Amino acid sequence: MLNKNKRIKFMTTFKFKKTILASTLLLLSAFQASAAINHSVYISATGNNQNDGLTPATAWKSMNFLNGKEFGPGAKILFKRGESFPGALTLLGSGSAEEPIVVGAYGTGNKPILTGKWNSKEIFLLDSGNEYIEFFGLKLTNYNTTFQDVKERYGIRIKIPARAGELKHLHFDKLDFFNIQGSGKEWHEEDHRSAGIYATTADNDVYGARFNDVVIENSTFTDIDGLGVLLKDMSQDITDVRKDATPYFPTVGFVFQNNSGLNIYRNLLMLRGTKDALIQHNTMDTTVEGSAFWSFATEGTLVQYNLFKHLRAADADAYALHFDYNNKDTLMQYNIGYDIEGGLIEYIVDSTYPNSFQENGIARYNIGIDVGFRDKPNGAGIFLTGRVTGGQFYNNTLIQLNKPMTNAISFNDWGGEWPDNNQIFNNIFYVAGDETVKHNQPIRFNKLGNVVSNNLYAGNIAPPQTWDNIITDINPISGDPMFVNPAGLTAEDFMITPGSAAIGKGLVIADNGGVDYFGNAVSATEAPALGAHDFTVNYLAPTDDAGVKDHEHAHKVDDKKEHKKRKDHHKEKDVRKTHKNYGAKPTIDLRAAKIKFKKPKKNQAEGQEPEIKSIGHTHQGLMKFTVNANRDIKSAILSLYAHEAGHTITIHKVADNTWLETDVSAKNAPELGEIIASEASLVEGMYVDFDLSSYITAAGEYSIGITTDSVKSVDINTKEAEENAPLLELSY
């Protein structure tokens, strides 16, 4: 008995020791396998997971094979172009500022297509505090409506864990998200929430967490049952500060630019908890229920140079410029909205909540065509509701052509409180249709510190007035705005022309952004024109002022190709000074890269032929022009039309800009400076080009002298010529 017991004890002990040894070996193996990968790995549909993955010839086969592997600085996960890859990856590890982790493509051909996994919400999941990650050049689709356990699906899902602090540098470039949809939810408000990119922080107001440097650019979002992008930072945002006096730790460095969306159920982009986000040069075409963009609990958001069209929602929202609530200092400028059910501008807050707010938003120099045809109080060109305050809505142009605008201006009392201390100035409301456009609650337009003034009402619309015929626009303007093409569908069609009732009728706004929709300078001291075009010179014909021709605009709102990505010629962010002056020096312009300017000023009186004055055997003329370009100029070419051949024309710098066309003479003409350009091959009846790129490099006033070697006058067309007038062409 005793021996038997001892034997059993011995055997038990032996087995126990054996188990410990095996576990030790397994732990050691796991430790060795977890060493971070810091080099490129290749994945091909024709590869083999038994390969080393280090070269295209020894590529791994499957996306799923990458799970469990940790990646570090310098790692690149590269999928072969022209191939498709099912699967899902939980990405482990982070890169560094010098060597981010890159998820991209190799080889030639079309972008690789990542198709997701039937039982996985996302194709890529980043949930372990990942930072310094870049995604580039991929197509992602995640469509499965039959697997009921996955209600929403995503292309890329990012979750910042609690106490993670700040996660930096997540960049997404040249990605195509398409056909993303899950099985859906029964409750409508929670349904249709799939997304291309879905990024959130933990809702923890004790330990701050945020994103820093998230850039999404040059990407497309097509056929998504929810949103293109959602970024939702719920940790110590501006709402938490107001409500609970938490520290302020918002997401910063968010940029969304040069992207396009097509057929997205809700929104192209939704933001929460950001500060100074930049949204520009994007296109959104067609929603079922929602605006193209909206934000909640943000500060200092800048939305500019976007085209939003065909937006729908039966009950609420669906606006080109949607200021949702708990926002501060939002600026929306230089945007176009076309065929939008809700309207152009929506400035709202739910006053039911005691700490909710909407403050100091600005919408200026925007254009809305056929907007606001929802037959409700919240269908309007400009809509304010709840205790919104400090809003400024000025120099916008709203045109009703084919769909009836329900209200031009509408106020409402969401949550039982009315808007206060808002300004609606210098806008144009143009109604070409047969149905009369009205206003909602005009009695509120000049109460609680609100001011409506100096707006132009043209066509089948009257200024706002109360039931007892009191007009509540302090200084309403009537008359014809005289658009270039009142039936058109481009921004340039709605520039105003000489004789417009809008010219010089606006209120002066000192901090007005500096330029209008078309890039023309706007004075801070002189009365501007009404609407998005500040007419200073006639862009169709020469004038004595001879300023700069208004910029040509690249957007035609009914263009079928608008969904294609636009190029960003500069890549740098816009220069910002104060909130109300964000647009003073926009460095990225969605308009045409090559801009033609107005005929330059010459030393002729109105209607006279040019006279080049004789000084000895050299004939001399002067030319002056103003360049209001809002960024650096790469080239400047002056084209002059000659009536004679066989002479040399030379262009000189002139430092003195004080000379006047009306009194300059050979005696008081300013001194000519160094030669800029010379052309000896004048051809009769042809333009001749002079390269002034070394002289004209930025905005400013420029004078040049023109000399010829001819012993007699040489005729060159001036600004007064009916055709073949001088032309200054600038390229950026």
pLDDT at 140: 98
Q: Give 22-63 pLDDT, tens digit per residue.
A: 333 333 333 344 589 999 999 999 999 999 999 999 999 999
CB neighbours of 395 closer than 8 A, spacing ≥ 6?
364, 365, 425, 426, 427, 506, 512, 516, 522, 528, 530, 531, 532, 534
**Of 109-118, 161-170, 569-578, where does mean pLDDT reach its minimum?**
569-578
Query: Which amino acid appears at position 526 of this protein?
Result: E
Residue-level pLDDT at 559: 36
Q: In the structure, what pLDDT confidence band is assigned to residue 646 with cuts at 50, 70 and 90? A: low
pLDDT of residue 706: 84
Determine what percent of the chain falls in helix, strand and coil, rounding each to the nearest 5.
Answer: 10, 35, 55
DSSP string, 588-599: ---S-SEEE-PP
Q: What is the pLDDT of residue 614?
A: 26
Question: Which residues touch 209 (CB under 8 Å, ≥6 apart)?
Answer: 160, 161, 162, 163, 164, 165, 166, 167, 201, 202, 233, 235, 249
- Give me 428's structure tokens: 């144009």
Structure tokens at 448: 């609680």
Residue 458 has pLDDT above 70, yes or no: yes
CB distance 318 to 289 below 8 Å: yes
Among 472, 601, 442, 473, CA closest to 537? 601
Say which residues have a Cβ less than 8 Å from residue 725's Cβ, sequence separation at least 6.
542, 599, 641, 717, 718, 719
Find tokens 């100074």 and name the residue.
276
> In terms of pLDDT, which residue wins out, 472 or 731?
472
Mean pLDDT of all residues in 326-354: 96
What are the pLDDT digits (tens) for 406-427? 999 999 999 999 999 999 999 9
Examine the pLDDT at 573 and tell me if it is beyond 80: no
574 pLDDT exceeds 70?
A: no
Query: What does pLDDT average to over the chain?
Result: 82
Q: What is the pLDDT of residue 722?
A: 62
Q: What's the pLDDT band for 721 if we cut at 50, 70, 90?
A: low
How many C-beta neighbours within 10 Å does residue 230 have?
21
Residue 714 — very low, low, confident or very high, per pLDDT cuts 50/70/90? low
The predicted model gives 701-705 an average pLDDT of 85
Predicted pLDDT of residue 549: 30
- Res 351: pLDDT: 96
pLDDT above 90 for 287: yes
- Average pLDDT score over residue span 278-298: 97
User: What would the pLDDT profile of 80-109 be if each residue is shown by its tens digit?
Assistant: 999 999 999 999 999 999 999 999 999 999
pLDDT band at 667 (very low <50, low <70, confident <90, very high): low
Write down the H helix ranges in 522-647.
none
Answer for the pair 589, 566: CB distance below 8 angstroms, yes or no: no
Report d(CA 404, CA 375) in Å as an integer. 9
